[in-house]
Chains A and B, each alone.
Chain A
Amino acid sequence: MSNTAAYLPVIQTIEQQWSSLSVKKLTTSDTHSSFLLSGEQRLPASGDRINYTAIASHGMTDQSLTVIYIASIPEARTLTNSLYAFLLQASALMSPLEFIMDLQSDQLVIRQSQIINRQYALQSGSFIHACQWLIPHLTRALDQIARQQSSPADARHMADLLSESWFGELAND
Protein backbone atom coordinates (compact mmCIF):
# COMPACT_ATOMS: atom_id res chain seq x y z
CA MET A 1 0.00 0.00 0.00
CA SER A 2 1.47 3.41 -0.95
CA ASN A 3 1.96 6.05 1.67
CA THR A 4 -0.83 8.21 0.24
CA ALA A 5 -3.27 5.32 0.15
CA ALA A 6 -2.52 4.59 3.80
CA TYR A 7 -3.18 8.11 5.07
CA LEU A 8 -5.77 9.45 2.65
CA PRO A 9 -8.94 7.88 4.09
CA VAL A 10 -8.06 9.15 7.56
CA ILE A 11 -7.30 12.66 6.38
CA GLN A 12 -10.45 12.74 4.25
CA THR A 13 -12.52 11.72 7.27
CA ILE A 14 -10.98 14.46 9.37
CA GLU A 15 -11.48 16.98 6.58
CA GLN A 16 -15.19 16.15 6.32
CA GLN A 17 -15.67 16.32 10.08
CA TRP A 18 -13.81 19.62 10.47
CA SER A 19 -15.57 21.17 7.50
CA SER A 20 -18.93 20.34 9.07
CA LEU A 21 -17.78 22.30 12.14
CA SER A 22 -17.01 25.44 10.10
CA VAL A 23 -13.25 25.04 9.94
CA LYS A 24 -12.34 26.98 6.80
CA LYS A 25 -9.55 27.06 4.19
CA LEU A 26 -8.90 23.36 4.57
CA THR A 27 -5.89 22.28 2.54
CA THR A 28 -3.89 19.07 2.40
CA SER A 29 -0.24 18.41 1.76
CA ASP A 30 1.98 15.41 2.07
CA THR A 31 5.56 14.42 2.58
CA HIS A 32 7.03 10.98 2.15
CA SER A 33 6.29 10.09 5.76
CA SER A 34 3.11 11.98 6.67
CA PHE A 35 -0.03 13.70 5.43
CA LEU A 36 -1.13 17.11 6.71
CA LEU A 37 -4.48 18.84 6.81
CA SER A 38 -4.58 22.55 7.74
CA GLY A 39 -7.47 24.91 8.35
CA GLU A 40 -8.53 27.90 10.37
CA GLN A 41 -11.49 29.15 12.30
CA ARG A 42 -12.51 32.39 14.01
CA LEU A 43 -14.05 31.92 17.41
CA PRO A 44 -17.39 33.73 17.43
CA ALA A 45 -17.16 35.35 20.86
CA SER A 46 -13.58 36.59 20.84
CA GLY A 47 -12.78 36.74 17.13
CA ASP A 48 -9.53 34.86 17.81
CA ARG A 49 -8.20 33.11 14.74
CA ILE A 50 -7.25 29.51 15.50
CA ASN A 51 -5.04 27.47 13.17
CA TYR A 52 -5.80 23.75 13.13
CA THR A 53 -3.56 21.01 11.81
CA ALA A 54 -4.03 17.25 11.61
CA ILE A 55 -1.04 15.04 10.90
CA ALA A 56 -1.32 11.36 9.95
CA SER A 57 1.85 9.31 9.72
CA HIS A 58 2.93 5.69 9.62
CA GLY A 59 2.88 3.69 12.80
CA MET A 60 5.31 0.88 13.51
CA THR A 61 3.20 -1.75 11.75
CA ASP A 62 0.96 -1.97 8.71
CA GLN A 63 -2.03 -1.88 11.01
CA SER A 64 -1.33 1.40 12.77
CA LEU A 65 -1.20 5.12 12.17
CA THR A 66 -0.20 8.03 14.36
CA VAL A 67 -2.75 10.85 14.32
CA ILE A 68 -2.03 14.22 15.89
CA TYR A 69 -4.39 17.20 16.11
CA ILE A 70 -2.94 20.63 16.81
CA ALA A 71 -4.60 23.96 17.51
CA SER A 72 -2.33 26.98 17.74
CA ILE A 73 -3.31 30.39 18.99
CA PRO A 74 -1.41 33.18 17.22
CA GLU A 75 -0.81 35.48 20.19
CA ALA A 76 2.77 35.19 21.43
CA ARG A 77 3.25 34.91 25.18
CA THR A 78 6.11 35.50 27.56
CA LEU A 79 7.35 32.17 28.82
CA THR A 80 7.46 32.08 32.60
CA ASN A 81 7.72 29.29 35.10
CA SER A 82 4.14 29.98 36.21
CA LEU A 83 2.87 29.63 32.66
CA TYR A 84 4.73 26.31 32.32
CA ALA A 85 3.27 25.13 35.65
CA PHE A 86 -0.27 25.99 34.49
CA LEU A 87 0.10 24.24 31.13
CA LEU A 88 1.71 21.12 32.59
CA GLN A 89 -0.92 20.82 35.32
CA ALA A 90 -3.70 21.23 32.75
CA SER A 91 -2.10 18.52 30.59
CA ALA A 92 -1.97 16.15 33.54
CA LEU A 93 -5.67 16.67 34.31
CA MET A 94 -7.35 16.99 30.92
CA SER A 95 -6.31 13.86 29.04
CA PRO A 96 -6.27 13.29 26.12
CA LEU A 97 -5.50 16.98 25.56
CA GLU A 98 -2.03 18.44 26.03
CA PHE A 99 -1.17 22.11 26.48
CA ILE A 100 2.27 23.21 25.37
CA MET A 101 4.18 26.27 24.26
CA ASP A 102 5.77 26.19 20.84
CA LEU A 103 9.25 27.29 21.90
CA GLN A 104 10.07 28.63 18.44
CA SER A 105 7.05 30.92 18.09
CA ASP A 106 6.10 31.40 21.80
CA GLN A 107 2.54 30.47 20.89
CA LEU A 108 0.14 28.39 22.93
CA VAL A 109 -0.67 25.02 21.36
CA ILE A 110 -3.34 22.47 22.24
CA ARG A 111 -2.37 19.02 21.01
CA GLN A 112 -4.03 15.61 21.01
CA SER A 113 -2.00 12.57 19.94
CA GLN A 114 -2.93 8.94 19.56
CA ILE A 115 -2.02 5.82 17.72
CA ILE A 116 -4.93 4.13 15.95
CA ASN A 117 -5.57 1.10 13.84
CA ARG A 118 -6.36 2.00 10.25
CA GLN A 119 -9.99 0.97 10.41
CA TYR A 120 -10.74 2.95 13.55
CA ALA A 121 -13.71 5.32 13.16
CA LEU A 122 -12.14 8.63 14.15
CA GLN A 123 -14.26 11.29 15.81
CA SER A 124 -12.00 14.30 15.28
CA GLY A 125 -14.83 16.77 15.82
CA SER A 126 -14.50 16.40 19.57
CA PHE A 127 -11.08 18.09 19.37
CA ILE A 128 -12.58 21.10 17.59
CA HIS A 129 -15.41 21.32 20.13
CA ALA A 130 -12.88 21.11 22.96
CA CYS A 131 -10.76 23.92 21.51
CA GLN A 132 -13.79 26.14 20.91
CA TRP A 133 -14.75 25.90 24.57
CA LEU A 134 -11.27 25.85 26.09
CA ILE A 135 -9.41 28.57 24.19
CA PRO A 136 -11.35 31.57 25.60
CA HIS A 137 -11.04 30.13 29.12
CA LEU A 138 -7.34 29.41 28.63
CA THR A 139 -6.51 32.85 27.33
CA ARG A 140 -8.36 34.45 30.26
CA ALA A 141 -6.46 32.28 32.74
CA LEU A 142 -3.10 32.99 31.12
CA ASP A 143 -3.84 36.73 30.98
CA GLN A 144 -4.67 36.61 34.69
CA ILE A 145 -1.46 34.72 35.51
CA ALA A 146 0.60 37.31 33.64
CA ARG A 147 -1.26 40.30 35.08
CA GLN A 148 -1.15 39.11 38.68
CA GLN A 149 2.32 37.55 38.34
CA SER A 150 0.89 34.44 39.95
CA SER A 151 3.21 31.94 41.56
CA PRO A 152 3.61 28.46 40.02
CA ALA A 153 1.53 27.03 42.87
CA ASP A 154 -1.31 29.47 42.18
CA ALA A 155 -1.01 28.79 38.46
CA ARG A 156 -1.38 25.03 39.08
CA HIS A 157 -4.46 25.76 41.22
CA MET A 158 -5.96 27.78 38.36
CA ALA A 159 -5.40 24.77 36.10
CA ASP A 160 -7.23 22.62 38.65
CA LEU A 161 -10.20 25.02 38.52
CA LEU A 162 -10.18 25.08 34.73
CA SER A 163 -10.24 21.29 34.58
CA GLU A 164 -13.22 21.20 36.97
CA SER A 165 -15.10 23.57 34.69
CA TRP A 166 -14.05 21.49 31.70
CA PHE A 167 -15.33 18.24 33.15
CA GLY A 168 -18.51 19.98 34.21
CA GLU A 169 -18.97 21.07 30.62
CA LEU A 170 -18.35 17.50 29.39
CA ALA A 171 -20.89 16.15 31.86
CA ASN A 172 -23.50 18.56 30.53
CA ASP A 173 -23.03 17.40 26.91
Chain B
Amino acid sequence: MIDSLNIVVKKQLESLDLSPRLIKNLSEYASLWALQLTPDIEAELSCRIKDKSDIQLSLVVTIDTRMREEAQNSFVMAMTQVVAPVTLLSTRNAVSTRLNVSTDLRSLNALLAESLLLTRYYAGPIFLGIYELQQKKRNLQQAIEETLKRLQASGQAQ
Protein backbone atom coordinates (compact mmCIF):
# COMPACT_ATOMS: atom_id res chain seq x y z
CA MET B 1 0.00 0.00 0.00
CA ILE B 2 2.85 2.40 0.76
CA ASP B 3 4.27 1.90 -2.73
CA SER B 4 1.12 3.40 -4.27
CA LEU B 5 1.25 6.35 -1.91
CA ASN B 6 4.96 6.85 -2.61
CA ILE B 7 4.26 7.18 -6.35
CA VAL B 8 1.72 9.95 -5.72
CA VAL B 9 3.93 11.75 -3.18
CA LYS B 10 7.02 11.59 -5.39
CA LYS B 11 5.15 12.93 -8.40
CA GLN B 12 3.75 15.87 -6.44
CA LEU B 13 7.09 16.75 -4.86
CA GLU B 14 8.88 16.54 -8.21
CA SER B 15 6.25 18.81 -9.79
CA LEU B 16 7.13 21.37 -7.09
CA ASP B 17 10.86 21.06 -7.86
CA LEU B 18 11.71 19.78 -4.41
CA SER B 19 14.13 16.97 -5.39
CA PRO B 20 12.46 14.27 -3.31
CA ARG B 21 14.46 11.30 -2.11
CA LEU B 22 12.88 8.25 -0.49
CA ILE B 23 14.89 7.63 2.67
CA LYS B 24 13.16 4.36 3.44
CA ASN B 25 9.87 2.56 3.73
CA LEU B 26 9.23 2.30 7.46
CA SER B 27 6.62 -0.42 7.04
CA GLU B 28 3.98 -1.62 4.63
CA TYR B 29 2.03 1.54 5.49
CA ALA B 30 4.61 4.24 6.15
CA SER B 31 7.55 5.92 4.45
CA LEU B 32 10.06 8.68 5.09
CA TRP B 33 11.19 11.21 2.48
CA ALA B 34 13.82 13.93 2.27
CA LEU B 35 13.17 16.99 0.12
CA GLN B 36 14.89 20.28 -0.59
CA LEU B 37 12.64 23.00 0.76
CA THR B 38 15.11 25.70 -0.27
CA PRO B 39 18.68 25.40 -1.56
CA ASP B 40 19.89 25.58 2.06
CA ILE B 41 17.15 23.78 3.93
CA GLU B 42 16.25 20.11 3.73
CA ALA B 43 12.92 18.87 5.09
CA GLU B 44 11.68 15.42 6.11
CA LEU B 45 8.24 14.18 5.20
CA SER B 46 6.79 11.12 6.89
CA CYS B 47 3.77 9.51 5.24
CA ARG B 48 1.39 6.96 6.69
CA ILE B 49 -1.57 5.40 4.92
CA LYS B 50 -4.38 3.47 6.53
CA ASP B 51 -6.57 3.47 3.41
CA LYS B 52 -7.51 5.89 0.61
CA SER B 53 -9.57 7.99 3.00
CA ASP B 54 -7.02 8.18 5.82
CA ILE B 55 -3.53 9.43 5.09
CA GLN B 56 -1.30 11.20 7.62
CA LEU B 57 1.66 13.36 6.72
CA SER B 58 4.14 15.09 8.97
CA LEU B 59 6.51 17.69 7.55
CA VAL B 60 9.53 18.55 9.69
CA VAL B 61 12.27 21.10 9.04
CA THR B 62 15.24 21.29 11.39
CA ILE B 63 18.17 23.63 11.77
CA ASP B 64 21.16 23.03 14.00
CA THR B 65 21.72 25.69 16.62
CA ARG B 66 24.62 26.87 18.74
CA MET B 67 23.23 29.09 21.43
CA ARG B 68 22.46 29.16 25.12
CA GLU B 69 19.62 26.76 25.86
CA GLU B 70 17.84 29.36 27.98
CA ALA B 71 17.66 31.90 25.14
CA GLN B 72 16.65 29.25 22.60
CA ASN B 73 13.88 27.88 24.83
CA SER B 74 12.55 31.37 25.58
CA PHE B 75 12.54 32.35 21.91
CA VAL B 76 10.78 29.13 20.85
CA MET B 77 8.23 29.30 23.65
CA ALA B 78 7.40 32.90 22.67
CA MET B 79 6.91 31.89 19.05
CA THR B 80 4.72 28.90 19.91
CA GLN B 81 2.05 31.35 21.05
CA VAL B 82 1.41 32.48 17.46
CA VAL B 83 2.49 29.84 14.94
CA ALA B 84 -0.28 27.20 15.09
CA PRO B 85 -1.00 25.04 13.11
CA VAL B 86 2.78 24.73 12.84
CA THR B 87 4.44 23.23 15.94
CA LEU B 88 7.81 24.54 17.04
CA LEU B 89 10.23 22.16 18.69
CA SER B 90 13.45 22.85 20.53
CA THR B 91 15.97 20.27 21.64
CA ARG B 92 19.48 20.94 22.91
CA ASN B 93 21.15 21.80 19.63
CA ALA B 94 18.32 22.10 17.15
CA VAL B 95 15.06 23.87 16.40
CA SER B 96 12.38 22.30 14.21
CA THR B 97 9.04 23.14 12.72
CA ARG B 98 6.49 20.36 12.42
CA LEU B 99 3.18 20.38 10.55
CA ASN B 100 0.69 17.50 10.64
CA VAL B 101 -1.70 16.82 7.79
CA SER B 102 -4.69 14.48 7.68
CA THR B 103 -6.24 13.89 4.29
CA ASP B 104 -7.70 11.46 1.79
CA LEU B 105 -5.97 10.48 -1.43
CA ARG B 106 -8.05 12.86 -3.55
CA SER B 107 -6.94 15.96 -1.62
CA LEU B 108 -3.39 14.78 -0.94
CA ASN B 109 -1.69 16.95 -3.57
CA ALA B 110 -3.48 20.11 -2.49
CA LEU B 111 -2.80 19.60 1.21
CA LEU B 112 0.79 18.59 0.65
CA ALA B 113 1.35 21.81 -1.31
CA GLU B 114 -0.38 23.82 1.43
CA SER B 115 1.77 22.24 4.14
CA LEU B 116 4.92 23.14 2.22
CA LEU B 117 3.79 26.74 1.77
CA LEU B 118 2.85 27.12 5.43
CA THR B 119 6.14 25.62 6.56
CA ARG B 120 8.10 28.03 4.35
CA TYR B 121 6.13 31.01 5.68
CA TYR B 122 6.89 30.16 9.31
CA ALA B 123 10.32 28.58 9.05
CA GLY B 124 11.83 31.55 7.20
CA PRO B 125 11.22 34.28 9.83
CA ILE B 126 11.80 31.92 12.75
CA PHE B 127 15.09 30.55 11.52
CA LEU B 128 16.20 34.09 10.65
CA GLY B 129 15.40 35.16 14.22
CA ILE B 130 17.48 32.30 15.56
CA TYR B 131 20.35 33.20 13.27
CA GLU B 132 20.27 36.81 14.49
CA LEU B 133 20.31 35.59 18.10
CA GLN B 134 23.24 33.27 17.44
CA GLN B 135 25.18 35.99 15.67
CA LYS B 136 24.31 38.41 18.49
CA LYS B 137 22.83 40.83 15.97
CA ARG B 138 19.85 41.21 18.32
CA ASN B 139 19.17 40.42 21.96
CA LEU B 140 16.39 38.02 22.93
CA GLN B 141 13.63 40.60 23.28
CA GLN B 142 14.55 42.29 19.98
CA ALA B 143 14.72 38.93 18.17
CA ILE B 144 11.26 37.98 19.45
CA GLU B 145 9.71 41.32 18.51
CA GLU B 146 11.33 41.42 15.08
CA THR B 147 10.35 37.83 14.29
CA LEU B 148 6.75 38.50 15.30
CA LYS B 149 6.70 41.54 12.99
CA ARG B 150 8.06 39.42 10.12
CA LEU B 151 5.46 36.73 10.73
CA GLN B 152 2.67 39.29 10.76
CA ALA B 153 4.04 40.87 7.59
CA SER B 154 3.84 37.50 5.87
CA GLY B 155 0.27 37.20 7.14
CA GLN B 156 0.89 34.12 9.21
CA ALA B 157 1.00 35.20 12.88
CA GLN B 158 -2.32 34.74 14.67
Nearest chain-A residue to B46 (Cβ)? A95
Cα distance A115–B76 in the bound complex, in angstroms:
21
Contact with B along A149-164 (1 / 0, CB 8 A): 0001000100000000
Cα distance A120–B101 in the bound complex, in angstroms:
10
Residues of B within 8 A of A134 (CB): none
Tell yes or no: B78 within 8 A of A by CB. yes
Residues of A within 8 A of B117 (CB): 60
Q: Which stretch (A1-9, A44-52, A80-88, A138-146) binds chain B?
A: A80-88
Tell yes or no: B111 within 8 A of A by CB. yes
Q: A89-B91, A98-B87 are in contact. Are A114 and B102 (CB under 8 A)?
A: yes
Q: Is B69 a contact of A60 with CB atoms below 8 Å?
A: no
Q: Is A111 a contact of B84 with CB atoms below 8 Å?
A: yes
- Give chain A nearest CB distance to B80 CB in angstroms: 5
Q: A92-B96, A103-B78 are in contact. Are A113 and B85 (CB under 8 A)?
A: yes
Interface residues on B, range: 35 or more
Residues of A within 8 A of B89 (CB): 88, 91-92
Tell yes or no: A136 within 8 A of B by CB. no
Of the candidates A92, A102, A113, A120, the one whose C-beta lies within 8 Å of that of B84 is A113
Nearest chain-B residue to A104 (Cβ)? B81
Q: Is B99 a contact of A115 with CB atoms below 8 Å?
A: yes
Q: A95-B100, A103-B77 are in contact. Are A117 and B107 (CB under 8 A)?
A: yes
Q: Is A95 a contact of B98 with CB atoms below 8 Å?
A: yes
Cα distance A100–B90 in the bound complex, in angstroms:
12
Tell yes or no: A101 within 8 A of B by CB. yes
- Give chain B nearest CB distance to A171 CB in angstroms: 15
Interface residues of A in 53-82 (CB under 8 A from B): 59-61, 63-64, 66-68, 81
Tell yes or no: B118 within 8 A of A by CB. yes
Tell yes or no: B7 within 8 A of A by CB. no
Q: Is B90 a contact of A88 with CB atoms below 8 Å?
A: yes
Q: Is B101 a contact of A116 with CB atoms below 8 Å?
A: yes
- Give chain A nearest CB distance to B5 CB in angstroms: 15
Q: Is A88 a contact of B114 with CB atoms below 8 Å?
A: no
Residues of A within 8 A of B54 (CB): 120-121
Q: Is A115 a contact of B85 with CB atoms below 8 Å?
A: yes
Cα distance A85–B77 in the bound complex, in angstroms:
10
Tell yes or no: A119 within 8 A of B by CB. yes
Q: Is B70 a contact of A64 with CB atoms below 8 Å?
A: no
Interface residues of A in 105-144 (CB under 8 A from B): 111, 113-117, 119-122
New A-B contacts (10) at CB < 8 Å, excluding given A81-B74, A121-B53 = A64-B107, A64-B114, A67-B85, A88-B73, A96-B87, A100-B81, A103-B77, A111-B84, A113-B100, A120-B102
